[in-house]
Amino acid sequence: MPARPRIPNPQDGPLQAFAYDLRELGEGKVSVGWIADHAETTVSRAALYAALSGTRLPTRETVSTLLRWWAGDPAIEQPDDEEDYFTELTWAWIDRLPQDHEKRRFANEWRTRYQRLARDILFEREFRPRAAHVAIDVPPEQQRFIRELNDLIRKTGLEDELWLLLGEYTPRAERYLAGESIPTNATCWELAHRLAEFIPDSHFEDLRSRLLRSAEVARLARVRDRRIARGRRSETAEATD
């Protein structure tokens, strides 16, 4: 993912307008790279940059991560007095901002805008014909993820006893290693935590960032290859008409 993703045209639609305004919001503030490397960040650098390109709807976690640093202010967040089970964890930082502070109002406005955008896009998808299923080979980027995960597992010395290493995550890990699926961000966290316990002189934060980055690139590669495969199928169908 390039350090400077293409600038979206706000005239091309609501998604592009949101991405454009989000880029503008970040001007003069901490960089995407700085946010990606922060210890509290759970979203990959690639996902953060992709949110600024306007090519697809970013996840709540991705948007919330950028807004915390660009619309909010972690320096003025106040600790939670008590756990609130009704607070959505993705946006919990907003509730830690002072009640009457301008930053809290501003952050809530951005959250509302994103939620409306996501609602409209998801509603539109409900009535859009599903893309045709296509079979693709495991992309090189996913193969690199598999090699990376295999290498980390070997470093634990428990490659022949995966259940001792990964517990209930073992069946999932076997699917990842076989190229059948790619872990979510939450699963990357759990894998990094378990691997760090058994790899000497390793650090959870480093392993987490490594897996998050690699998995995100692998997911983007699968999307790319499916798009290419569908394009080829359409060209073939048109040629035979």
The answer to whether the beta carbons of residues 57 and 121 sit under 8 Å apart is yes
The answer to whether residues 43 and 65 touch, using CB atoms and an 8 Å cutoff, is: yes
In the prediction, which pLDDT does 109 show? 96
Q: Report the 10 Å Cβ neighbour count for 79.
A: 5
On whether both 166 and 223 belong to a single domain, the answer is yes
Last residue of some domain: 98, 126, 154? 126
Same domain, 172 and 91: no
Of the CA atoms within 13 Å of residue 163, those in its CB half-sphere come to 0
Same domain, 122 and 156: no
Per-residue pLDDT in tens (0 to 9) along the chain, 241 residues:
444 557 889 998 999 999 999 999 999 999 999 999 998 888 888 889 989 999 889 999 999 999 999 999 999 998 875 555 444 578 999 999 999 899 999 999 999 999 999 998 877 766 656 656 778 899 999 999 999 999 999 999 999 998 999 988 899 999 999 999 999 888 888 899 899 999 999 888 889 888 988 998 998 898 889 888 887 766 665 555 5
Tell me: do 99 and 152 sit in the same domain: no
In a domain, 86, yes or no: yes
| Helix 140-156 and helix 185-198, axial crossing angle in degrees, nearest 10 | 30
Residue 3 belongs to some domain of the structure: no
Which residue among 93, 126, 159 closes a domain?
126
pLDDT of residue 134: 76
pTM exceeds 0.75 for this model: no
pLDDT for res 46: 85
Question: What CATH number should be reported for the domain holding residue 202?
Answer: 1.10.260
Q: Are residues 120 and 145 in the same domain?
A: no
Among the listed residues 226, 212, 223, 239, the one whose alpha carbon sits nearest the alpha carbon of residue 37: 212
CA R_g for the chain: 20
Range of the domain at 185: 140-240
